[in-house]
Amino acid sequence: MIKTRFTDIFGVDHPIVCGGMTAVGKAELIAAVAEAGALGFLTALTQPTPEALAAEIGRVRDLTDKPFGVNLTILPTVDPVPYDEYRDAIIEGGVSIVETAGANPEPHMPAFKAAGVKVVHKAVAIRHALKAERVGVDAISIDGFECAGHPGDDDVPGLVLINAAARSLSIPIVASGGFANGAGLVAALALGADAINMGTRFVATTEAPVHENVKQQIVANDERSTILVFREFRNTARVARNAVSEEIAAISARPGATFADVAHLASGERGRREVLAEGNMDGGMWWAGQAQGLIDEVRSCREVVGSIVAEAEALIGERMPKLLA
């Protein structure tokens, strides 16, 4: 068994994380991740109200007694989000681990700390990670250029970013972006990380609450099957390459284009309905990272975690020692 600062502090068996994923981080997936000995995060804003989040936390507790967390992504929105109420639902639900992302988590830290909640903050740059460390988070999830979602605009891949984070921070580091197997876990540990975060790999599991077509598309895709969108609007996002994301990229590249020109194509509701729920793979924009190139089959969460740990242990215990003269 591989033990790190992360497994010790967060009370999980394996240094593997399933970070928050909109419309995917639901009870059935997160409980399965927990039962496999890893740490999964429910996605708070997938639930339409704080009351619905409380009910979803209850659903996880009905399925597992192992540690799990909740992701709270704090972003500017057209319609105000009652972040304080979602935060309170997390605390009142007895959740002891939170993953924050987006804006600075500092306004929420006093409430989380008073309740004994440990905070993992997602960052895409060392400067942001250092700020989060100063405000008292317990760990940093550092997102490299390979990740699905928003990798920032600096284009620093994990091979550099993870080690730079390890050299700069004193708290545990979760390496995120491009991870799907045991070799990646060993590489992350060698670079100074204490755990790895996977999103795309956990979408291609039997327990993920998405259409089977999505899972099979991830298996069929390779490392080139993503595209960067919204860069022109200083909100770079990595998504799966399909007809809709390619159209978004083409429209965005036109002189004078604004987000309003692609909003109908980039609608989260459209992606969730057409792609994740109905399996129309060109029906909307959907999120996936370059780790697609490392995913060969749909497996259960237990099989995914078990195979990653077994491969990592074999590399550390068998192959690596033989490299020493």
Q: What would the pLDDT profile of 242-269 be if each residue is shown by its tens digit?
A: 999 999 999 999 999 999 999 999 999 9
Is residue 82's pLDDT more than 90? yes
pLDDT at 318 over 90: no
Contact 105, 137 (CB under 8 A): yes
Q: Which amino acid is at 268?
A: G
pLDDT for 110 equals 97
CB neighbourhood size of 239 (10 A) = 24
Do 141 and 121 meet the contact criterion of CB atoms below 8 Å apart?
yes
pLDDT, residue 76, reads 72
Q: What pLDDT is stored for residue 257 in this prediction? A: 94
Query: 2-20 in b/e burial notation, b at 16+ Cβ within 10 A?
Result: bebebbebbebbbbbbbbb
User: Looking at residue 121, what is its pLDDT?
Assistant: 98
- Domain coordinates of the chain in residue numbers? 5-209+296-322, 226-287
Which residues have C-beta within 8 Å of that of residue 27, sequence separation ≥ 6?
Answer: 42, 56, 59, 60, 63
Quick check: 276 pLDDT over 80?
Answer: yes
Alpha carbon distance 266, 286 (integer Å)? 9
pLDDT in tens, 227-239: 999 999 999 999 9
Buried b (16+ CB within 10 A) or exposed e, 151-190: bbeeebebeebbbbbbebbebbbbbbbbbbbbebbbbbbe
30 contacts 68 by C-beta, under 8 angstroms: yes
E-only strand ranges, the chain: 16-18, 39-43, 69-74, 97-102, 118-123, 139-143, 173-176, 195-198, 226-229, 237-240
Residue 240 above 80 pLDDT? yes
What's the CA gap between 122 and 144, in Å, rounded? 11
Structure tokens at 126: 């060392």
Answer yes or no: are the C-beta atoms of 284 and 248 closer than 8 Å: no
pLDDT greater than 90 at residue 41: yes
- Report yes or no: 57 and 92 within 8 Å, Cβ to Cβ: no
Whether residue 18 has pLDDT greater than 80: yes
Domain spanning 5-209+296-322: which superfamily?
Answer: Aldolase class I (3.20.20.70)
The whole model's pTM is what? 0.95
Is residue 55's pLDDT more than 90?
yes
pLDDT of residue 80: 87
Angle at 174 between CA 170 and CA 177, to 5 degrees: 135
Residue 77 has pLDDT above 90, yes or no: no
Dihedral sign, CA of 286, 197, 104, 92? positive
pLDDT recorded at residue 205: 98
As a whole number, mean pLDDT of residues 129-150 equals 96
Q: Determine the pLDDT at residue 139.
A: 98
Burial class (CB in 10 A: 0-12, 13-18, 19+), 266: buried
pLDDT band at residue 79, thresholds of 50, 70 and 90? Answer: confident
Mean pLDDT for the chain overall = 96
d(CA 94, CA 103) in angstroms, rounded, equals 24
